[in-house]
Structure 1
Amino acid sequence: MAELSTIDIIGGGPGGLLSAILARRAFPSARVTVHEAAARGVTWGFGVVFSTQALDFLQADEPETHALITPRMERWQNMVLNHPDGPVTLDGIGFAAIGRLELLTILAARAEEVGVDLRFGAEVDPSSLRADLIIGADGLNSRTRTEANAPSLTHMSNRFAWFGTPRPFDTLTQTFLRHPKGALNAHHYRYAPNMSTFIVELEEEAFAAHGLAEMDETESATYCATLFAEVLEGAPLLTNRSIWRQFPKLWCETWTSANTALIGDAVHTAHFSIGSGTRLAMEDAIALIAAIKAAPNVMDGLTSYQATRPPIARKIVTGANTSAQWYESFSTHIEQPPLDFAMSYITRSGRVPPEKLRALSPEFMAQYEAAQCPTS
């Protein structure tokens, strides 16, 4: 088993905090420090969504933290697609969600409970650290990532912005709107009894036609709330760094360099349409600490992490990129009848064969197949 006396973690998101918790348990005599540039209690965005079983991995590796998080989550068993010509329910497509700030608060408290030194408002230069192990969990704009990690970064063409709303939705819902200036899509789900995330997305031409580039956050929120007024039932859209962005597709071929390892969005991104970004970061943390704990020294542990973790993550990232590609032309998909549109949507990542779909969503599949073969 590797022996470590100091571990520095750059970034206090879910992956960074979980890696700190796991490191303290694996190496109880080590000093574990998390350096987070933001102040305590400050984060961007609103809710974090997981598939229903997505936190099972956490129960196996950190049951105490799992027990703290799961009672705070909102859960539902079905998903709804609001097609312009009528809604379709996808039964069995369950999810769970929690506020991002609440998740971070739980993880920070747990980290301090096990003896992690949390330093908020502390932006550090990774090259100045002299720890036995350095973990870069500092997100897309990572200062820990270098050219040695062989990063590849491109962007999707669609524009999107994350809003919140005090309108709690029953399920994870997607609402698609036709509009003379270009179609819009909203991904929305509740993450607290009285709050929901509301992500608005447009294709590139529609974004320009709607004039959103010329609007500030408040103007964008008001404009989008007006367009989605029916599904929002008149509720407003709230902002929190709700700027219009294009989704970044990041992948690093090399996840380690010297005594440094990258996790989460610092090393890869996964499109929000499959809800796996936070899960991947947390699973990276688990894999990294487990690899180092099982190795005779840090360098062998990092070699093991590099060999075993990227191939697993790559499958999910590839599925996310395929899913994202479907959204790049959602305005054409919504011209299909609702049931055909729903089938196109649910099979967009190429990872759900018909037999699996029949077991997963029997009611939807029965409805879809009956529509394909109507009785005479």
Structure 2
Amino acid sequence: MDINIVGGGPGGLFISYLIKKRFPQWTVRVFEQNDAGATYGWGVVFSDVALSFLQKSDPAFFQRFTADHVHSDYMEIVHRGVHVPIHGNRFSRVARIALLQFLHVECRSAGVELLFNTRVDDLRALRQADLVVVADGVNSRIRTQHAQAFKPSFVQRRNKFAWYGTRKLFHAVSLIFRETEFGVFIAHSYQYSDQMSTFLIETDPETWARAGLGEMNDADSRIFCEKVFADDLDGNGLLSNKSTWFEALTVKNENWHHENMVLIGDALRSVHFSLGSGTRMAMEDSIALHEGLCAHTTDLAAAFGHFEASRRTASDRFQQAAAKSLDWYENVGDKRHLDPIAFTYDYMRRTGRVTHDDLRKRDPEFVRQYELLYGEAVN
């Protein structure tokens, strides 16, 4: 089989590796518009639950994949300057560029052809292959060109975001809520190497406008955010990498495949940063599509059917939970009156998927503190 993959992110690279490893006689090419060393963003974080799919699918690859990750066994919520740890939450973090470079090596060792600095604007030549995997991200040009077939829908969320990095090392996955004269600013922060942390800042559009961020250039915006989170950064600055403000775009597609094309990763569906890694979803898509191809090597329609049957329900559930998480963040101003323990409890249960008993199993000491203040909650 001859396979073209559009997009050299984690999803596109991982599916190419899986296919070429299982079918070395097949031709697998990845077309990536950027240079091999280009990356926009800082770190990638996985929960242990999120990585369990990878360990189950390919234990040897999992060991190589996580060998250089930064690990922690708890997260923390910072509200009113009080740090509230939540244990029973294990996380694995890695620099995005390190993740991509690792996948480049794995792909090349399997015999995948990687074509960088190759922008695909016209799909007609690529579609002469037997299979085209569309993995070109949330703003997929291929999906846009074939919108009538895939029938995508979009929801533009209201909060503003800016991706920064910092040399302050946040060992725990930390969610920091800072109240200012303009409103609430939120930082999603976590260490991803021995020198760097991600520091994603979020705020509602009204707070963003009152602070004058719409009139600031990138440098002034970065300096403003450093002042908001000065107590958390401990004298460290924020580092920019095209760190312009943006709004989250939720994408879903009515149809997941068309003729010999199939969508995976953010081109297929997007989720909010607070709930789950888009990288995790893309890699789970890759495993499911690979399993479909293994089961139906001569029947592409059946392989696509297997992929969709395996992923559609889980994908819909995840997006529903992500929407609830987005709602919580967009209305966090309504939670400002809560004390740090109640605020953290409310955050942990924001999607409706975590019960009081679930929290007790994860961190009995935190639940004990909550129950001392408020009594035992109803699941």
Give TM class, smaller chain: over 0.9
Question: Could you tell me which of 109, 120, 131 is aligned with 2:129?
Answer: 131
Following superposition, the deviation at residue 306 of structure 1 comes to 2.5
**CA deviation profile, 1:154-180 (whole Å, cap 9, x unmatched):** 111000111000111120111111111
Contact 2:70 2:94 (C-alpha < 8 Å) held by counterparts: yes
**How does 1:30-69 map onto structure 2 within 5 Å?**
30-69=26-65
**How does 1:324-343 map onto structure 2 within 5 Å?**
324-343=326-345
C-alpha distance in 2 between matches for 1:340 and 1:63? 40
**CA deviation profile, 1:268-327 (whole Å, cap 9, x unmatched):** 001000133110000001101111220141122112223332112111121111111100
C-alpha distance in 2 between matches for 1:180 and 1:231? 18
C-alpha distance in 2 between matches for 1:364 and 1:154? 36
Contact 1:78 1:89 (C-alpha < 8 Å) held by counterparts: yes
**CA deviation profile, 1:37-79 (whole Å, cap 9, x unmatched):** 0111101000001112322221222334322221111111111
SS in 2 for 1:40: coil
Which amino acid letter does the alignment assign opposite residue 207 of structure 1? W
SS in 1 for 2:186: strand
Tell me which residue corresponds to 1:209. 210
**How does 1:88-127 map onto structure 2 within 5 Å?**
88-124=84-120, 125-127=122-124
Which amino acid letter does the alignment assign opposite residue 321 of structure 1? A
Tell me which residue corresponds to 1:269. 270
> Structure 1 stretch 141-150 or stretch 57-66: which is displaced more?
57-66
Structure 1 residue runs of 4+, over 3 Å off? none
Tell me which residue corresponds to 2:193. 192
Following superposition, the deviation at residue 85 of structure 1 comes to 5.1
Contact 2:293 2:303 (C-alpha < 8 Å) held by counterparts: yes
SS in 2 for 1:359: helix
Contact 1:176 1:334 (C-alpha < 8 Å) held by counterparts: no
**CA deviation profile, 1:200-226 (whole Å, cap 9, x unmatched):** 111110010111112222221111011
Tell me which residue corresponds to 2:3. 7
Which amino acid letter does the alignment assign opposite residue 136 of structure 1? V
C-alpha distance in 2 between matches for 1:61 and 1:354? 31
C-alpha distance in 2 between matches for 1:28 and 1:81? 47
SS in 1 for 2:225: helix
> Structure 1 stretch 30-39 or stretch 143-152: which is displaced more?
143-152
C-alpha distance in 2 between matches for 1:292 and 1:100? 28
User: Is it true that 1:176 corresponds to 2:173 in the alignment?
Assistant: no
User: Is it true that 1:144 corresponds to 2:142 in the alignment?
Assistant: yes
Contact 1:175 1:185 (C-alpha < 8 Å) held by counterparts: yes
C-alpha distance in 2 between matches for 1:126 and 1:74? 39
**CA deviation profile, 1:329-376 (whole Å, cap 9, x unmatched):** 1122122111111111000011001111110121110111111149xx
Unaligned runs of 5+ in 2: none
Tell me which residue corresponds to 1:350. 352
TM-score normalised by the chain length of structure 2: 0.95
Q: Name the % identity.
A: 38
CA RMSD, 1 decimal? 1.3
C-alpha distance in 1 between matches for 2:90 and 2:81? 24
SS in 2 for 1:37: coil
Tell me which residue corresponds to 2:369. 367
Contact 1:135 1:262 (C-alpha < 8 Å) held by counterparts: yes
SS in 1 for 2:67: helix
Which amino acid letter does the alignment assign opposite residue 331 of structure 2? S
Contact 1:65 1:107 (C-alpha < 8 Å) held by counterparts: no
Contact 2:180 2:228 (C-alpha < 8 Å) held by counterparts: no
Following superposition, the deviation at residue 25 of structure 1 comes to 1.8
Which amino acid letter does the alignment assign opposite residue 320 of structure 2? T
Contact 1:254 1:306 (C-alpha < 8 Å) held by counterparts: no
Following superposition, the deviation at residue 132 of structure 1 comes to 0.5
Which amino acid letter does the alignment assign opposite residue 264 of structure 2? I
Question: Could you tell me which of 291, 307, 315 is aligned with 1:313?
Answer: 315
Contact 2:6 2:133 (C-alpha < 8 Å) held by counterparts: yes
C-alpha distance in 1 between matches for 2:280 and 2:274? 13
> Structure 1 stretch 255-264 or stretch 80-89: which is displaced more?
80-89
Contact 1:7 1:33 (C-alpha < 8 Å) held by counterparts: yes
Tell me which residue corresponds to 2:294. 293
Which amino acid letter does the alignment assign opposite residue 154 of structure 2? L
1:94–1:334: structure 2 CA closer, same or farther, 3 Å change rule? Answer: farther
Unaligned runs of 5+ in 1: none
User: Is it true that 1:243 corresponds to 2:244 in the alignment?
Assistant: yes
